[in-house]
Chains A and B, each alone.
Chain A
Amino acid sequence: MANDPVYVDNNATTRCDPRVVEAMMPYFCEQFGNASSMHAFGSEVGGALATARKQLQELLGAEFDHEIVYTSGGTEADNMAILSALETQKGRDEIITSAVEHPAVLSLVAHLEKTGQAKVHIIPVDAKGRLDMEAYRKALGPRTAIVSIMWANNETGTIFPVAKLAEMAHEAGALFHTDAVQAVGKIPMDLKATEIDMLSLSGHKLHGPKGVGALYVRKGVRLRPLVRGGHQERGRRAGTENAPGIIGLGRAAQLAGEYMAEEQTRVAALRDRLEEWLLGAISHSFATGDVESRLPNTANVAFEYIEGEAILLLMNREGIAASSGSACTSGSLEPSHVLRAMNVPYTAAHGAIRFSFSRENTEADVDRVLEVMPQIIARLREMSPFWREREKEGAFNPTYA
């Protein structure tokens, strides 16, 4: 008997909600006009874009709708925020970020450092993935142009105290940006009540379409465009608006607001039940990250002595989709920089599996995962030399090449 597939990899991407697709559909063949045009074809699109902007403003708790600049996604928004700050913050050329950021931030700042365009401070995290506040305080200074620290980590779900971090950045005269790609739609936000200057988000992480995202830029914060050209987005991001994408993102934001309470309760309960059972049923396993302060949908469980890709391949055969911090599942063979930054021992980091839920998951999904995981883990451990020799210190000590 074939089981229904189980998708618990919602931090990678989510299914576009059919109601989002429905909202987008008229803007391909019927309302296809360019919002900048003078004729009726364009004006109707302009109205829909304005509504979508309001919907997203509502979800973010932004004070004004013109604080939203649409982009092609989270990565573009991150790049725009950091590069803009280096230009607008005269006399300041230092960037502060954390060791566990997404590559959209870390690769960019590494490039800026390498090419001599900025000095970068990477703030470490502790074993639970929490920011070293003392190191952060020390790194802030008169040359800090911008701080970019994520709202919530994509691998562990650990939430950072961004409101506090933003206040500290302002005391040093620096701008504060947060990559909130994983947080938007999963936890409530009220940006107008914070000092956060800029925030990146992505449509496809909240059941919206791929290829659209936004940068929130608080009113009064100066912004240098990344893409120059036409006057779209008040001249802050040129290029004809991705009307279907923006409208889809608006509807997705509206739905995320409607489901926000459910995300905190039912979805969190699914996650908790899965994690408690797994940790109870499978020995030598533990939850990574800060379980006291994390996204309601994410569990990252390390299964010691086995490797993540092998786990995922066996899960995939059972129709279950999750992801791993293992080296072998990334194109580069690099083990997860997040788990490494947290000093998770490598025989555990390699076997870390991320389960990320959404409002579309059910109790039956959890049952199915719990049904197959113990066998999968046992089977791979049976094959692992580290597992057999785990009681004997140093009994398996291979020559590495």
Chain B
Amino acid sequence: MWEYSEKVKDYFFNPKNSGVLEDADGVGDVGAISCGDALRLMIKVEPVSQVITEAKFQTFGCGSAIASSSALTELIIGKTIEQAMQISNQDIADFLGGLPPEKMHCSVMGYEALQAAVANYRGVEWVDDHEEGALICKCFGVDEGMIERTIRANTLTAVEEITNFTKAGGSCATCVEGIEAVLERVNAQMVEEGILIAHEAFVPGAVPVFAKPKKVVVKPPESTAPLTTLQKIKLIEETIADIRPSLQRDGGDCELIDVEGNRVIVKLTGACVGCHLSGATIEGVQARLVEAVGVPLLVIPAAPVH
């Protein structure tokens, strides 16, 4: 059984805006090939202000597909077309308190339905250019399509390179064999297409895989001139600002809430919520802060709000 957030369950059991919108101004019909789900989004737009006044959906799909569809309508009603087009699939997932990595494509389907409905409203044809495949890395939600595109775009020939580019395999590493299979297949195709030299292509088993040595965290020496509280908070703020983009790439985020002595209280949001790696994320944030500030700090996650 999938672990759905309470909000996903609520939006599945009591979906809002389900049904048919007669005389819709824009209709978007999209589907997700990975699981066969499909969604029709219908919108009504006020012509002068360009505000979406009504939105309804019909969905053929699982619990999270129905919840994502309903969340999408809630998110776009009252927004102008321009504002609505800023909504990402991550916003839909966030609105629902997160989705299991295997189910993120449900939020992508919602995002695409909106693009398609707006295109239909504007009288243009919407072309989808996004492909996906089987989920390879469950920790970071990386699918086969993304790995293949990254290999081709950057002429990658080693698993570690794929991990560096996509994060796939960078956590529990149980998917390394899966990554190797994709790499072997794509490299072989690239050799055939003449865009990769044969001897550079990945050969499985050619390089033995050893476990990486555990990182030893060396506590930095005590600073001679202790920072003022203001300096310390500023440094913490700057460091967290540096970390955020990498968390955002994984669909998560981190926000500084408060600093009490050596206790740094942060809030993890987005995909970090409920992620079984959030403990590791907190540790990572803590290591970065200790390094930057030069004093021992304890990073504490604020209680998540569902």
Contacts and interface: CB of A to CB of B under 8 A. Distances in A.
A396 B135 contact: no
A383 B15 contact: yes
A16 B224 CA distance: 68
A398 B63 contact: no
Contacts of A333: 34-35, 102, 134-135
Contacts of B270: none
B13 A317 contact: yes
A383 B63 contact: no
Interface in A17-36: none
B39 A385 contact: yes
A307 B40 contact: no
A383 B40 contact: no
Interface residues of A, number: 33
Interface string B11-42: 01101001110000000011111111111100
A383 B17 CA distance: 10
Main secondary structure of the interface of B (DSSP, over half): mixed
Given A305-B60, A307-B62, A327-B36, A400 B31 contact: yes
B29 A346 contact: no
B59 A384 contact: yes
Given A398-B39, A401-B30, A401-B31, A385 B58 contact: yes
Given A317-B13, A383-B18, A399-B126, A310 B31 contact: no
A327 B38 contact: no
Interface in A268-317: 305-310, 313-314, 317
Contact of B58 (A317, A346, A347, A383): A383
Nearest to B132: A401
A309 B63 contact: yes
Interface string B88-129: 000000000000001100001100100010000000001010
Interface in A187-246: none
A385 B113 CA distance: 13
A385 B40 contact: yes
A401 B62 contact: no
Interface in A352-401: 382-388, 396-401
A398 B31 contact: yes
Contact of B112 (A306, A313, A401): A401
A387 B20 CA distance: 12
A108 interface: no
B74 to A, nearest CB: 16
Interface of B: 12-13, 15, 18-20, 29-40, 58-66, 102-103, 108-109, 112, 116, 126, 128, 130-132, 134-135
12 contacts: A306-B60, A307-B61, A332-B134, A350-B60, A383-B15, A385-B39, A386-B60, A397-B29, A398-B38, A399-B116, A400-B33, A401-B130
